[in-house]
């Protein structure tokens, strides 16, 4: 009798304990992650759409905007259906999560005990990353791709390519088990999208007129500014808490963006003769990309060096590599996101400061970390390249990828959407 | 009557307009145009790659004048629009059959 009673008391207490734990909502973390999620939405809609739209030609700016907007909308749906489960479901052989575990939010409830905010916020915050990654790729495809083919591509890519890579790095998959550092998505987001962009450019082929002559540089500047602002949600939000790591990520983000803006500007000034606004804006993005994997791991000197090294490398990739090889990566998705992403991922292994993020890098004696970072880079590049090519070749064989030459010259806005950006 | 079409450098427009008003020209039509001649195009650099822009922006001024005013107007335009460098532009002089003032229906020189 006494035994039964104590059992009941024990159960009651443990029940109480559980209830008390579940009720422990960290309002600070919750408030920050709500805001951070919204900031990352703002990066794509409209930040990236305007950045890309301004860089493109006036006859296809709307198509370019539509690609970003629809990527966001479509990936929202694929993410809540299966994407989130593949990335964050129970691990299957280190490769992917159980794809139907959280089907349309099934079983996501209560407070995440690790972070103190509602588990639903994880679904929301990570959704914004999947969406912008897919939208980023579109910059390479603009000016010649059928809109229907883009929608199918975005749908397939956001299920087959993004979520497994996110799982490897963040969802408990094999790269995180090997200790690869990727604070906010240098590998998962930027290298992944950059390589997909390069492969897509090769499969789609060149546009008839492949010149990059922006139709509105002020829109480019506005888009870059919105991306910079939204990136605080992306990087500081990746601390998954309102804490010192988030503060590190925020200051590092702005320091790298500023350094890279200047570094790109001076590289261009010396190499091409003029410091352009397109160049300053591009430098900002290169810096933001490069600091993304490192934001919560490096100190301020590390952030300065990452921005200063990544921007000139991205600049010369765009200015020299692209013309040399002749691929039509229209808005330099590979040149900026791929190259700065790779540089950032490797330099994270060099400059990681144990007093910031707990892991030492090369300069603190941990030589192995650079190698671990390189493995993450190479694995992601290969996977993204192979699967992106498979998706595009399948679409090419079925629905076709390119609009007709006549539609391309006329412009995708009127040919694909029946509207014009500027009516006089 | 003659129509004088002058293609000039855009930054010279104000000077030319003021000079024409000073010699008594009471109206003109101005259009932003693009084209090329001896100057050819120019280059713009985006992300380190130089692109040749074939057509340069110019301004076209159209003025219709009496025959006896043609020389004076041409001289004024040449004097004010000239920089001495390639790309200063051209002047075309065309015959005009008739002119109609829409408000009153007047015709010919008095409608100019």
Query: Is there a contact between A82 and A163 (Cβ–Cβ < 8 Å)?
Result: yes
Whether A276 sits inside 8 A of B46 (CB atoms) is: yes
Element (H, E) at A99: none
Q: Identify the closest residue of chain B to A269 by CA–CA distance.
A: B48
> Taking CB atoms and an 8 Å cutoff, what residues of chain B touch A274?
45
* A10 domain residue, yes or no: no
Q: Which tokens sit at A302?
A: 């590390």
Query: Is there a contact between A407 and A417 (Cβ–Cβ < 8 Å)?
Result: no
Determine whether A257 is exposed, middle or buried from the number of CB atoms within 10 Å of its CB (0-12, 13-18, 19+): buried
Q: Identify the closest residue of chain A to B43 by CA–CA distance.
A: A213
Query: Is there a contact between A223 and A48 (Cβ–Cβ < 8 Å)?
Result: yes
* A390 domain residue, yes or no: yes
Query: Is there a contact between A361 and A348 (Cβ–Cβ < 8 Å)?
Result: yes
Whether B50 sits inside 8 A of A276 (CB atoms) is: no
Structural domain for A68, as ranges: 25-417
Q: What is the pLDDT of residues B32-53, one digit of tens each?
A: 999 998 878 788 889 988 888 8
Total number of domains constituting chain A: 1
- Interface predicted TM-score (ipTM) of this complex, two decimals: 0.72
* A19 domain residue, yes or no: no
B64 cis-preceded (ω within 30 degrees of 0): no
* A9 domain residue, yes or no: no
* A266 domain residue, yes or no: yes
Tokens 């929301």 correspond to: A124
Q: What is the pLDDT of residues A131-153, one digit of tens each?
A: 999 999 999 999 999 999 999 99
DSSP state of A117: S
- Torsion sign, CA atoms A167, A169, A171, A173: positive
Residue A315 to residue A321: CA distance in whole angstroms:
9
Query: Is there a contact between A137 and A329 (Cβ–Cβ < 8 Å)?
Result: no
Find which of A276, A311, A320, A326 to mutate to test the B interface (most B CBs within 10 Å of its CB). Answer: A276
Angle at A72 between CA A282 and CA A60, to 5 degrees: 60
Whether A319 sits inside 8 A of B53 (CB atoms) is: no
Give phi and psi for B13, each to the nearest 5: -55, -50
* A20 domain residue, yes or no: no
* A12 domain residue, yes or no: no
- How would residue A16 be classed by pLDDT, with cut points 50, 70 and 90? very low
Q: Identify the closest residue of chain B to A282 by CA–CA distance.
A: B47
Query: Is there a contact between B56 and B109 (Cβ–Cβ < 8 Å)?
Result: no
> Taking CB atoms and an 8 Å cutoff, what residues of chain B touch A324?
none
Q: What is the pLDDT of residues A248-305, one digit of tens each?
A: 999 999 999 999 999 999 999 999 999 999 999 999 999 999 999 999 999 999 999 9
Query: Is there a contact between A129 and A39 (Cβ–Cβ < 8 Å)?
Result: no
Q: Which tokens sit at A405?
A: 């030459």
Largest CA-CA distance found in chain A, in angstroms, rounded: 90
* A18 domain residue, yes or no: no
Burial A40-70 (b: 16+ CB within 10 A, else e): bbbbbbbbbbbbbbbbbbbbbbbbbbbbbbb
User: Does A17 score more than 80 pLDDT?
Assistant: no
Q: What is the pLDDT of residues A295-344, one digit of tens each?
A: 999 999 999 999 999 999 999 999 999 999 999 999 999 999 999 999 99
CA within 13 Å, CB half, A178: 18
CATH of the domain at A150: 1.10.3430.10
Specify the pTM: 0.88
């Amino acid at each position: 009798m006494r035994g039964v009673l104590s059992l009941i008391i024990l159960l009651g207490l443990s029940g109480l304990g559980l209830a008390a734990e579940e009720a422990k909502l960290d309002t600070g973390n919750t408030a920050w992650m709500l805001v951070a999620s919204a900031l990352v939405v703002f990066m794509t809609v409209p930040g990236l759409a305007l950045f890309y739209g301004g860089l493109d030609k006036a006859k296809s700016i709307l198509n370019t905007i539509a690609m970003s907007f629809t990527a966001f909308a479509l990936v929202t749906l694929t993410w809540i259906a299966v994407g989130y489960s593949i990335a964050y479901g129970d691990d299957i052989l280190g490769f992917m999560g159980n794809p139907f575990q959280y089907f349309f939010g099934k079983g996501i409830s209560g407070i995440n005990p690790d972070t103190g905010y509602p588990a639903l916020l994880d679904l929301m915050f990570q959704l914004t990353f999947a969406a912008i990654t897919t939208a980023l790729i579109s910059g390479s495809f603009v000016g010649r791709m059928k809109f229907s083919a883009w929608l199918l591509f975005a749908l397939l890519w956001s299920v087959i390519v993004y979520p497994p890579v996110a799982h490897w790095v963040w969802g408990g998959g094999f790269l995180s088990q090997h200790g690869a550092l990727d604070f906010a998505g240098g590998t998962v987001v930027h290298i992944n999208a950059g390589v997909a962009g390069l492969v897509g450019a090769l499969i789609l082929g060149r546009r008839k007129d492949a010149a990059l002559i922006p139709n509105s540089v002020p829109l480019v500047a506005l888009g870059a500014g919105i991306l910079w602002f939204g990136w605080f949600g992306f990087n500081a939000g990746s601390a998954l808490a309102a804490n010192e790591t988030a503060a590190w990520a925020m200051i590092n983000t702005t320091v790298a963006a500023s350094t890279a803006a200047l570094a790109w500007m001076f590289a261009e000034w010396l190499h091409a003769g003029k410091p352009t606004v397109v160049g300053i804006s591009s430098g900002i993005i290169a810096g933001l990309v490069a600091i993304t994997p490192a934001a919560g791991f490096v100190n301020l000197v590390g952030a300065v060096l990452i921005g200063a090294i990544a921007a000139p490398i991205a600049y010369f990739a765009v200015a020299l590599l692209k013309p040399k090889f002749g691929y039509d990566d229209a808005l330099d998705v590979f040149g900026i996101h791929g190259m700065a992403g790779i540089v950032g991922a490797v330099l994270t292994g060099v400059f990681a400061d144990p007093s910031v993020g707990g892991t030492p890098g090369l300069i603190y004696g941990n030589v192995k970390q650079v190698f671990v970072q390189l493995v993450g880079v190479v694995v992601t590049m290969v996977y993204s390249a192979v699967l992106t090519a498979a998706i595009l070749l399948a679409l090419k064989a079925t629905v076709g990828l390119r609009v007709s030459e006549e539609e391309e010259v006329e412009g995708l806005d009127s040919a694909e959407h029946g509207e014009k950006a500027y009516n006089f | 009557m003659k129509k004088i079409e002058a293609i000039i450098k855009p930054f010279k427009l104000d000077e030319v307009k003021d000079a024409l008003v000073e010699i008594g020209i009471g109206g003109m039509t101005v259009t932003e145009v693009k084209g090329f001649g001896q100057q050819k195009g120019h280059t713009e650099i985006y992300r380190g790659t130089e692109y040749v822009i074939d057509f340069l922006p110019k301004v076209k001024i159209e003025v219709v004048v009496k025959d006896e005013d043609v020389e004076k107007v041409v001289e004024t335009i040449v004097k004010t629009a000239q920089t001495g460098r390639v790309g200063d532009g051209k002047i075309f002089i065309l015959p005009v059959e008739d002119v109609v003032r829409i408000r009153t229906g007047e015709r010919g020189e008095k409608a100019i």
